[in-house]
Chains A and B, each alone.
Chain A
């Protein structure tokens, strides 16, 4: 029973991380109909940024909590700056081009960013400082759920609630929904659609950066390539939930995380990544629109 609960929590934790990344894919897709293949790299840059900030701050002897918060904030801001710039440089000029062009541009951006970090940093794995200590109050449950799992779950939950409130109730959130549903009409009611697209990239990038920080300190090491696999899996989760749907991305992520956790726990951990991609193939065959997605409509 303990083993089951342990797998359950580790699955939820994985799912939470996927969700933080998947939201960026699904929100961008919802607004401009583009799979932003560079999004995994945004997550990776978030991890690197928090690495640099955390390392510097710990040299200066900042308290752990301050380090975590500042690293998270800096990572979110820096990754958002990247997300914003990528959209302006690589996607906006292609907004009226055939659909394939921005997609190729996105893949190019992804490869560029990987190599940029590879050259600017190193190809080796860097040890990431342990930012989340073992809480004393978690000790009795430590064999089931770790402190960093708890932090990941709580942080993700808080961010999801905040995002939901933003999207559902604020002026900018309504404008984001309107733009996703009908861009021309959004312009006709006076929404500055360019700004909404930028905001979407900024929010998605910020969430991914927080994901980068959390995973890095959970796993304890990073390199320039971590965005690739994380990105593809989060993308899988977004497709599973129905790309374009925000609750879909969260549900898809949790299902993917739980599937991986239980499959590796009860079947074999040798095939960890096989499960995710088998799931992707199955969805694409049987329900290409995903769990909460709408049947494919013309997306311009």
Chain B
């Protein structure tokens, strides 16, 4: 469903004062942010800043100790991971996590695990094959034998097979050649427009991310330290120094 005029500006996701720990290591000290319906927002930060922990908290993989996660106004911080997927939130985790011994096709099927609408699944399968024709060629090959770039395409496609309303992407450009990175970012933009997926993009590649994002957040040490429109962040002195290598 296209975001109608009434929905634009409404919040798809909101994190309120989230705190998350691994044992006695506190990864997220206080994270608050929100994503409006239809937006692409990016969360940038250095190694260990808490980006992946933020996404894993949203997905219900690691529990938060305090704070709230609201999805379209509904609290989801106590739901289980599969219930969160069922609500329409999908994550492509850092490092892709392709099921190595499942074929490309089976990996895609797993993406649609909770869906029952055969016709819709078929349409979406054709859609991801049209985005990444290489996956159609490799459909019966096992996922573990794909190249890094192909695995990223597959990971993205697998998430699309769930028809998510909100897509969480954790460093989709990691370890890829510049040409492939550009292609992946173009496709992220395309997914946002064609599939009406709201996108929460975590990146260290701040330059590319800010170019396709509407707004951005900077996370350091488990805390949000800065937020602005993507354009302003690109021109921000501190961001330029710390994340854009200018």
Contacts and interface: CB of A to CB of B under 8 A. Distances in A.
Interface stretch (B67-75, B96-104, B182-190, B231-239): B96-104
A185 interface: yes
A52 B225 CA distance: 69
A177 B86 CA distance: 20
The interface residues of chain B, by DSSP majority, are classed as: loop
Nearest to A187: B81
A171 B81 CA distance: 19
A178 B102 contact: yes
Interface in A156-184: 171, 174-175, 177-178, 181-182, 184
B93 A188 contact: yes
B102 A181 contact: yes
Contacts of B102: 174, 177-178, 181
Given A171-B113, A181-B102, 18 more contacts: A174-B102, A174-B106, A174-B109, A177-B99, A177-B101, A178-B102, A184-B93, A187-B59, A188-B59, A188-B90, A188-B91, A188-B93, A188-B97, A189-B111, A190-B82, A190-B113, A191-B113, A193-B81
B109 A190 contact: no
A269 interface: no
13 contacts: A171-B113, A174-B102, A174-B106, A177-B102, A185-B97, A185-B99, A186-B110, A189-B114, A190-B82, A190-B162, A191-B82, A193-B81, A193-B82
A192 interface: yes
B99 A188 contact: no
Contacts of B113: 171, 175, 189-191
Task: Pick from A178, A185, A192 the residue with the most CB of B within 10 Å.
Answer: A185
Contacts of B93: 184-185, 188
Contacts of B158: 189
The interface residues of chain A, by DSSP majority, are classed as: helix
Interface residues of A, number: 17
Nearest to A192: B82
A30 to B, nearest CB: 11
B100 A181 contact: yes
Interface of A: 171, 174-175, 177-178, 181-182, 184-193
A181 B101 contact: yes
Contacts of B60: 187
A188 B61 contact: yes
B211 interface: no
Contacts of B162: 189-190
B53 to A, nearest CB: 13
A236 B101 CA distance: 25
A188 B53 CA distance: 14
B201 to A, nearest CB: 16
A92 to B, nearest CB: 14
B85 interface: yes
A194 B202 CA distance: 29
A171 B91 CA distance: 21
Given A175-B113, A189-B111, A184 B97 contact: yes
Task: Pick from B81, B86, B91 the residue with the most CB of A within 10 Å.
Answer: B81
